[in-house]
Amino acid sequence: MRLLVTGASGWIGRHVVPELHAAGHQVVGLARSTASAQALTAAGVEPLTGDLSNTDLLRTAATDSDGVLHLAYGHDFSRFAEAMAQDAAAVTAFGEALAGSGKPLVIASGTPAVPGALATESDWVTEGITGARGRVARAVVDLAEQDVRGVVVRLPRSVHGAGDYGFIAWLAQIAEQAGLSGYPGDGSARWPAVHVTDAARLFRLAVDVAAPGTVLHAVGDQGIEVREIASALGERLGLPSGTRSAEEIGFLGGMMAVDQPASGAGTEALLDWHPTGPGLLADIAAGHYDR
Ligand SMILES: NC(=O)c1ccc[n+]([C@@H]2O[C@H](COP(=O)([O-])OP(=O)(O)OC[C@H]3O[C@@H](n4cnc5c(N)ncnc54)[C@H](OP(=O)(O)O)[C@@H]3O)[C@@H](O)[C@H]2O)c1
C-alpha cells in the first residue's frame, strides 16, 4: 500500500516506518519543516510538505493514498486546547476523504485511566478534557459505518527505548532540577508502558490486518508504581527519591497521581501480537534516561 503517515518523523513514527517498509508498503510522510522533510527522505519516506492544520491538504493526500496512519500530535502542552482541536479536525478530514473506500485509518491514542482496575480495550473515557482523545478515537471506530477501516492503537503513558524524549525523559529533567526524583503522595499510582519496537510492530499489524472498529492496546508493562519509576531514575541520576506534591512536580505531577494501569491481553489474543522488548525499569537501568 501507499500509505500517508503523519508524525513519521516523531519518536514512534521513526520506528514504525521501517516496519511498514519491511512489510512492503510505500510511505508518504507529512513534513512541517525542512528538517523533518530531510529526516524523512533519509528514512526512505516521500515527504509531503505541510502542516496538520491544513485540512484541505490532508483530505487530498488521504484521497490519493491507500490508507492513513495518523501519529502526529502537537505536544506543546501549554497549547493543549489547540492541539486537541487540530487533532479532531485532522481526523475528521481523513474520515471524509476515506469514506466509502474501505481503506484503513489507523490513529494513535492513549490507554484510558480506570483507577483501581486494568483498563481494557473495551473501556472508554470520553468526558471532559481528559476524554478529548477518547472522543476522537470513538469517532474513528464509528467510521466503520461509513466503510472506513477505522482502527485505534492506544498507547500507555511511556513508549520507551533508547533515544526516548517523552515523559520519562521529562521526569529525569525535573528530578535533576529539584535534586530529588519525586512522586506524588505515596507513589502507589501505576503507569503502564511499552517498548517502542513493540508499539511499532502493533501499528504495522493494525494497518495490515485489524478489522474495522478495532481498539488495540500496545501494553507491555501493565502498571508500574510511580515510586518505582522515580526510584529507578534516582538511582541512575545519583539522586534520592521521595514524595513531592503534584504541583511541585508540575504538569506530569497530576498525571503521576492517577492510578491508570492497562492491559493488552485482548490485543495479544486478537492479533497474536506479544511484547518482547525490555520493560521500562530495565530501560531506565540501562541508562537510556541518563542526563
Ligand atoms: N511517546 C509516548 O510515550 C506516547 C504515549 C502515549 C501516546 N502517544 C501518542 O503517540 C503519537 C506519536 O507520539 P510521538 O511520541 O511519536 O510524538 P513526537 O515524538 O512528539 O512526534 C510528533 C510528530 O508529530 C509531528 N507534528 C506535530 N505537530 C505537527 C503539525 N502541526 N503538523 C505536522 N506534523 C506535526 C511532529 O513533526 P516534527 O518532526 O516536525 O516535529 C512529529 O513527527 C501521538 O499521538 C502521541 O500523543 C505517545
Task: State which residues form the domain around 12.
Answer: 2-157+194-217
Say yes or no: 130 and 229 in one domain: no
| 290 found inside a domain | no
Burial of 172 by CB count in 10 Å (0-12 exposed, 13-18 middle, 19+ buried)?
buried
pLDDT of residue 279: 98
| 7 found inside a domain | yes
The 10s digit of each residue's pLDDT in 48-103 is: 999 999 999 999 999 999 999 999 999 888 898 999 999 999 999 999 999 999 99
Q: Is the dihedral of CA 103, 107, 113, 119 positive or negative?
A: positive
Say yes or no: 182 and 116 in one domain: no
| 266 found inside a domain | no
Please provide the DSSP assignment of 167-230 as one string. Answer: HHHHHHHHHHHHTSEEESTTS--EEEEEEHHHHHHHHHHHHHHPPTTEEEE--SEEEEEHHHHH
Say yes or no: 101 and 177 in one domain: no
List the one residue out of 228, 254, 225, 231 whose CA is nearest residue 181.
231
Say yes or no: 121 and 183 in one domain: no
Report field, pTM of the whole predicted structure over 0.95: yes
Q: Which residue has the cell 493526500?
A: 61
What's the CATH number where 176 sits?
Answer: 3.90.25
Banded model confidence at residue 223, pLDDT cuts 50, 70, 90: very high
Rounded to whole angstroms, how far apart are CA atoms 154 and 262?
A: 10
Overall domain count for the chain: 2
Å from CA of 239 to ligand 1 middle: 30
Burial of 102 by CB count in 10 Å (0-12 exposed, 13-18 middle, 19+ buried)?
exposed
The 10s digit of each residue's pLDDT in 135-154 is: 999 999 999 999 999 999 99
Which residues lie closer than 8 Å to 104 by C-beta, 6 or more apart?
67, 68, 69, 148, 149, 150, 151, 206, 207, 210
**pLDDT greater than 90 at residue 128:** no
List the one residue out of 224, 219, 238 whose CA is nearest residue 291.
238
The 10s digit of each residue's pLDDT in 96-111 is: 999 999 999 999 999 9
Say yes or no: 104 and 148 in one domain: yes
Say yes or no: 212 and 102 in one domain: yes
pLDDT of residue 136: 98
Say yes or no: 188 and 198 in one domain: no
CB contact at 8 A, 147 and 99: yes
Say yes or no: 128 and 182 in one domain: no
pLDDT of residue 251: 87
pLDDT of residue 216: 98
Q: Whose CA is nearest to atom 23 of ligand 1?
A: 7
Rounded to whole angstroms, how far apart are CA atoms 263 and 244?
A: 28
pLDDT of residue 129: 84
Residues within a 6 A CB radius of ligand 1: 6-7, 9-13, 30, 32-33, 36, 51-53, 71-75, 108, 110, 155, 158-159, 166
From 49, 71, 153, give the residue whose CB has the most ligand 1 atoms within 8 Å, as the site to mutate. Answer: 71
**Cell numbers found for residue 40:** 524523512
Q: Whose CA is nearest to atom 41 of ligand 1?
A: 10
What's the CATH number where 53 sits?
Answer: 3.40.50.720
Say yes or no: 238 and 103 in one domain: no
Say yes or no: 199 and 86 in one domain: yes
What is the identity of the amino acid at 19? Answer: E
Angle at 151 between CA 135 and CA 120, to 5 degrees: 70
Say yes or no: 126 and 182 in one domain: no
